[in-house]
Amino acid sequence: MLNSFMINLVNRFAELALAPVYFSDMLWIILPLISAMILIDIYFGRYKFEELGWNTAYGNSLVLIFVSFDLMRFLYNNDLITPITFQSAIVFGLIIVGLFLVISTFFHVFTKEVTFNLETVTPINISSYVVVVLVYSKVPLDVYTVISGISLAVLIYLIIKLIWFLMPENFDA
């Protein structure tokens, strides 16, 4: 039982991680997400004492809206908007989350600590990546997908921390 669970989990992790290889249409939205995340994390690895600002958090929350536009285009082009499908439901969910974050950040509804932790580039882009993969590749949302998505996020986080560790600091900032 446990062996079967682990095999399914590893397979789903590989499916999420390698989805852009098998569904190359998603590369147009995935590559900018991954590139921005890596470059911004390298920047903050070098300038460790810089803080995220409200304007940056606002811009990061807009990424969810832009990703949603691409996903709506994909749904429309593939006749997946109506009737309501799993893919269209998670895209509408992403739009709602994106609008909530944009509006709450615009009006500074939450403290900066809460806002800046929610809206750094890493959680925004990893969430976007997972939703893009779910929509483009039609991976089912189940316990394997949830655990694999979280595992992928943790792996990316650890890679970012490694980059930060290896990155020489700038002490002038």
> Is there a domain that residue 172 lies in?
no
Chain segment 42-52, per-residue pLDDT in tens = 888 888 888 88
Q: Evaluate the CA torsion angle 125, 128, 134, 137 in order and state its sign.
A: negative
Among the listed residues 103, 105, 95, 10, the one whose alpha carbon sits nearest the alpha carbon of residue 55: 105
Give pLDDT tens digits for 133-171: 999 998 888 999 999 989 988 898 888 888 888 877 776
Asked if residue 100 is part of any domain, the answer here is yes
Q: What's the predicted TM-score (pTM) here?
A: 0.87
Task: Count Cβ atoms below 10 Å from residue 43 Cβ, excluding itself.
Answer: 12
Confidence of residue 41 (pLDDT cuts 50, 70, 90): confident
Q: What total number of domains does the chain contain?
A: 1
What letters, b where the CB count within 10 A reaches 16 and e where it falls short, cover 63-87? bbeebbebbbebbeeeebbeeebeb
- What residue numbers bound the domain in which 18 lies? 2-166
Is 160 domain-assigned?
Answer: yes
User: Is residue 141 a part of any domain in this protein?
Assistant: yes
Name the more confident of 79 and 69: 69
Q: CA 23, CA 31: separation in Å to the nearest integer?
A: 13
Distance CA 82, CA 164 (A): 45
Query: If you average pLDDT over residues 87-110, what whole number do you get?
Result: 95
Contacts of 165 (CB under 8 A, 6+ apart): none
